[in-house]
Amino acid sequence: MIRARHSLLAGLALAGLVHAQTTVTVPAQTVTVPVPAVTPPPVTPPPIVLSGNGQSITIQPPAVQPPAIPATTLQYTVPAYQLSATVTAPTTPMIGTLAPAGSPTSFATSQGTWTVLSGVVYLNGATYGYSLGVVLLVNAGGSVYQENGSCLWWVAGGTAVSPTWTSSSAPAGVTLPRCPVQTTSTTTSSGSTSTTSAPPATGCKPTGVFGIAVSGANLVSTKDCSVVQLRGVNISGLEAVAIQGWSVSDPWGGTPGNDDPLWPQIAAWGVNAVRIPLNEASWNGISCLDDNGDSVPHKAGQTVNADPGGNYRQTVQNTVTAANAAGYYVILDLHFSAPSPHCPQTQSAAPDSVNAVTFWASIAATFKNNPAVMYELFNEPFLDQTTITNGVNVKAALISGGAQMSNMNGQGEEGIIPVNWSNAGFQTLVNTIRQAGATGVILSSTLAYASDTGDWLQYHPTDPLNQLAAVWHAYPNGSSQTIPDCVGAAATCGPATMAAAKAIIAAGYPVVITEFGEGNNQSVWAPVLLPFADAAGISYFGWTFNNWVPQGSTSNVLISDANADPTTYGAYVKQHYLCRAAGTASCP
């Protein structure tokens, strides 16, 4: 009993359940000890020797039996006494808006003092990386974890100079706050809205870690296998700024409207994913030929460093970390590609057979342990609108590679650049990503600038992991703003393109519209496209969340200023995203 009380106090102290001087009083007790009867053995006296007249006599006395001792009891009293112990503070301190009442407002580690203010994490008074909507900060097992308002966990890494947050699961033993059950809403014929729990996707195995995967025709959360519809925005800049030499210190900045992503403003739009267009030469860190002097710092024919600050890769990694910490899935898109020695400063007809393979091998190796990253093989192929010198079937060549071209059919000021080159097939790029160890979702587009959904089922790569999704770029048709751009007569190819997207889903593949848009001052196409996509289970990403209106952009820009006030086009997108984010099944 006394030993048990000592163990109780020790357990309390080690568990860190209280923080006080604890005293336990042990009352006086009477202890009774029974003594059994005892029968002693017989006692044999030693022999007696008598001597005299030269003779001796030995006499052996008889054995003696001692009396038996009867059974009895013994009693004694233990007086009352006290035990005292100082119980240490909790070994898992937690702070945040949903932390237990009475928890500390900060805690200290070897790095310094951690605090949470208005959902943002601070270390020694300075923001630690990018955080938003943090409801719980935990110091457990020598690491610092945060949980945000989306019930996603991240563990701190890096240093105060170069901080990072990496996707994680809750640390062992932490159960507060409990994440809400993911729900879906159903709108009845009477207009009322009901909310029900979203069932997990069939065949999916939850990992408890933030990420995205393909399960049949659905995209699902790797955390809990719930079905996910991506509502995203594109953030342009990394595909052009560094290679065009506009900024050495920041591959996001240097040109008007191209600044670091507006993460807090994006969060206010109900977004759950972002798409980041990339430049293969900047990521590969190579030098290349600027054919036309595409930017002010360069001259035509000049050899330039595609990563002049030597910071492109780190910037991309920091961007992915910041997006994940805000609860966003990320698409990394090979936007600009070109054959050596030329600089990829604009779109080309297809990924080139050398540099694109190097790009995807490196990207996949870098992000292979991040299940929240998706890989879009190439932005907008247009082999069907380029002169092919070896006469191959361009639809098949998009997948198998080997289409030979005698010029790089660029756009804008690049014009036509003479160069003999061939494309890398999408199958080669898929194989490259998988050989690098990445298991994430791969997104594969089609020809006609990714608008020709009708050919996707016949011409798409094979993924051994069955994590393949189809890409569709859905911009309005030039002849009618209420049907998609397509190949053929608008009246027939528009509806056929939308039907083909649904057919892809029926065949068991998810569809993701990684770009859509329309004129800034109108809202005609988006109100047709997004409800259609919702009903079909299609994900979508608006182009673009950049402050380009002050520079004269009149189309496909969601925001009108640095405060992210929406354009007319953006206003519809924002209200629709927020409606869907609230769980409403049918949004106007």
Q: Percentage of the chain surpassing pLDDT 90?
A: 55
**Secondary element (H or E) of residue 141:** none
DSSP string, 231-259: EEEE--STTTTTTTTS-SS-TT-SBTTB-
Q: What is the pLDDT at residue 199?
A: 52
- Residues of the chain predicted below pLDDT 50: 1-20, 87-90, 98, 101, 178-198, 411-412
* CB distance 180 to 151 below 8 Å: yes
pLDDT of residue 297: 64
**230-581 is a CATH 3.20.20.80 domain:** yes
pLDDT digits (tens, 9 = 90+) for 106-155: 888 888 888 887 677 888 888 887 776 677 888 887 889 888 766 677 88
Calpha distance 580→229 (Å, rounded): 9
- Whether 240 contacts 519, CB under 8 Å: no
Residues 6 or more apart in contact with residue 369 via CB below 8 angstroms: none
Cα→Cα distances 495→125, 380, 381, Å: 56, 21, 22
Tens of pLDDT, residues 262-272:
888 999 999 99
Reported as half-sphere exposure (CB side, CA atoms, 13 A), residue 536 has a value of 25
Distance CA 178, CA 151 (A): 8
Greatest Cα-to-Cα distance within the chain, rounded to the nearest angstrom: 156
Q: What are the residue ranges spanned by the domains of the chain?
A: 1-29+77-89, 94-168, 200-228, 230-581
Per-residue confidence (pLDDT) for residue 217, from 0 to 100:
96
Question: Strand, helix or coil at 581?
Answer: helix
Kindly report the pTM of this predicted structure.
0.75
The pLDDT of residue 63 is 82
Strand order across the beta sheet in which 212-215 lies: 212-215, 218-221, 227-228
Handedness of CA 94, 97, 99, 101 (dihedral sign): positive
- Cβ-contact 250, 319 below 8 angstroms: no
